[in-house]
Amino acid sequence: MTTNIDDRARTVVPRWRPSLVSAFTGELSSAGSLHPALFPTRAYLDTKLAEWLHNPSIETAADLVSSALVVGATDEAAPAARAILTDPSTATSAVKLIAKRLLYAWSPEEISTLVTLPSLGPPATLEAAARSRIRILKRALSDSPRNALKWADLALEYARLAQGDKAFWAMERALSIAPQDRFLLRSYCRLAVHFNQPDKAHDLLLRSRRTNEDPWLMAPEIAVASIRGHTSRNIKKAIALLNSNSFSPRHTSELASALATVDLMSGDFRMSRRYFRDSLKNPTDNALAQASWASKRLGGLDLDPSLFDQPLSFEARTRRFRDLSEWADTVNSSVDWMKDEPFSSRPALTGSYVTSIALQDFQLAEKFARVGLLANPDDVVLRNNLAYILASLDRVDEGWLEFEKINQLGLAPTETCVLTATRGLLHFRSGDPEIGRGLYEAAVNSATGEDGDRLRALALLHLAREENRLDPIRARIAFDGAQRYIATSDANEIKALASIIENTLAPGLRS
């Protein structure tokens, strides 16, 4: 059987996007240099305005424009933004992008078009597109080898193709040029976590002198420390920084979210709610997604629906639509999320799960799984989902081939349960129902933990689906067995699946 994203704990590890897109998030802040200033106040803006008027260069214009965006005084910086866009010597595309953002209103759809990855196409097409972008970036870097942002973008393209060694090589080149740059440090952090090397990310953040003063870096240090099983040395500093009100809520959003997650995991729900609410005063899309994930585990954390309209909030929207059982919107948001984070397994897991469970659209589910596996060929759950999908399409030999690629050493109990059920499905579709029944029973018995009832319900519903092809009475018995677990599960997609399966039962065996 297939499984979903929420089997995996979530932390506030930074997003990793092309540098052009990151210009919208605040990570590039003062884009006139690779060393963005910490977050401007009105007094800081006045200083930058005076510098621009005294010396109207591209550098002073960029500092003024990026500061004005944060403070909200865009009219005063409009002449500087126009100067950036009309000066042919402007150094980076990110500077131009920030100037455009100040002068023009950008819709979420327009921002989304900055991500050029075609989604849900054949993996070979996506791979060819990534290789084309790699060639373009390499040519650009041959002309400007000290463009750190382009080295980071090159690393991202390699990550999309699961080429970890090359991705680290390119990112390390970027950091050799600008070792204290916030955007690069955060990007390296996400890269290292993606390739299951959180120690590299954590050590780098601890070495950086900026981490102790920059909330955009303190947040991932706390998050990655928890992934390593450590307690961050910056917890007290982070609390003091939040209480000082020295930074605007936008710039402390992920830091508050990281603290909230630490408290959630330790059982201090009162403080967790407080910090999550702080994180939502002006949230990044990452902090909003974290709060959406946490709201399923933490009572009393209500999210204003208007927050989900913010640009780039694809993951949060996916979670919200799924909670509302709006399956078509869930799928569409999963596609957008996959475009935004094409190297991440999570959007592919969500898309393949919802389409195969709530919609029984296995053709579309296969597309999600195959695109996700392009960047995550060793992901156990994603590979299992593909095997389940292929078996459900009666492409049993292909399903077995995918299933046999899974490394089953050292699996978590949930993964073992899910794989046991998928093996049962493969045996049913291979003409071995007795073996299949035994494996489904084993899956039901092995489901444990807080997710146990959901897994038992899924296993029994799939057993009912398979029995219905052979023995309608057995199908009704399995379906009835699932009902007690469905009643205790808040997973709406399971209820949708139950409705689909019940409608396939023999008329006399329906409720």
| Cβ-contact 501, 465 below 8 angstroms | yes
Q: Which of 47, 78, 105 is the last residue of a domain?
A: 105
Q: How many CA atoms lie within 13 A of 311 on its CB side?
A: 18
**The pLDDT of residue 159:** 95
Residue 158 lies in a domain: no
**The pLDDT of residue 112:** 45
**The pLDDT of residue 7:** 54
| Cβ-contact 218, 249 below 8 angstroms | no
Tell me the C-alpha distance between 141 and 237, whole Å.
39
- One-letter amino acid at 350 equals T
Tell me the C-alpha distance between 275 and 456, whole Å.
34
pLDDT per residue, tens digit, the chain (511 aa), is: 677 655 568 999 999 988 766 755 556 553 333 233 444 567 777 888 898 898 888 778 877 877 776 666 778 888 888 888 777 665 445 566 667 666 665 444 444 444 444 567 788 888 888 888 899 889 888 988 888 888 998 999 999 999 999 999 999 999 999 898 888 999 999 999 999 999 999 999 999 989 998 999 999 999 999 999 999 999 999 999 999 988 888 889 999 999 999 999 999 999 999 999 999 998 999 999 999 999 988 888 889 999 998 878 899 999 999 999 999 999 999 998 998 888 999 999 999 999 999 999 999 999 999 999 999 999 999 999 999 999 999 999 999 999 999 998 888 888 999 999 999 999 999 999 999 999 999 999 999 877 889 999 999 999 999 999 999 999 999 999 999 898 887 788 999 999 999 998 877 655 5
Sort 271 into a burial class: Cβ within 10 Å, 0-12 / 13-18 / 19+: middle
DSSP for residue 119: -
Residue 488 lies in a domain: yes
Tell me the C-alpha distance between 235 and 268, whole Å.
14
Tell me the C-alpha distance between 3 and 421, whole Å.
11
Residue 87 lies in a domain: yes
**The pLDDT of residue 467:** 95
Q: Which of 58, 84, 105 is the last residue of a domain?
A: 105
Extract the tokens encoding 186: 């955060």
Q: 390: closest CA among 365, 419, 420?
A: 365
Residue 68 lies in a domain: yes
Residue 486 lies in a domain: yes
Residue 94 lies in a domain: yes
Q: Which of 78, 105, 132 is the last residue of a domain?
A: 105
Extract the tokens encoding 490: 């808040």
Tell me the C-alpha distance between 269 and 272, whole Å.
5
Q: What are phi and psi of 375, to 5 degrees?
A: -95, -15
**The pLDDT of residue 32:** 31
Tell me the C-alpha distance between 53 and 75, whole Å.
15
Residue 467 lies in a domain: yes
Owner of token pair 């799928």: 331
Q: 21: closest CA among 290, 287, 340?
A: 340
| Cβ-contact 367, 348 below 8 angstroms | no
Positive or negative, the CA dihedral 122, 126, 129, 131 is negative
> Into how many domains does the chain fold?
2
Q: 125: closest CA among 487, 435, 370?
A: 370
Positive or negative, the CA dihedral 166, 168, 169, 175 is positive
**The pLDDT of residue 88:** 66
Domain range enclosing 466: 408-511
Residue 485 lies in a domain: yes
Positive or negative, the CA dihedral 289, 294, 299, 301 is negative
Q: 223: closest CA among 6, 8, 12, 9?
A: 12
Number of neighbouring beta carbons within 10 Å of residue 163: 17
Extract the tokens encoding 352: 């393949």
| Cβ-contact 501, 468 below 8 angstroms | yes
* pTM of the complete model beyond 0.85: no
Owner of token pair 């750190």: 148
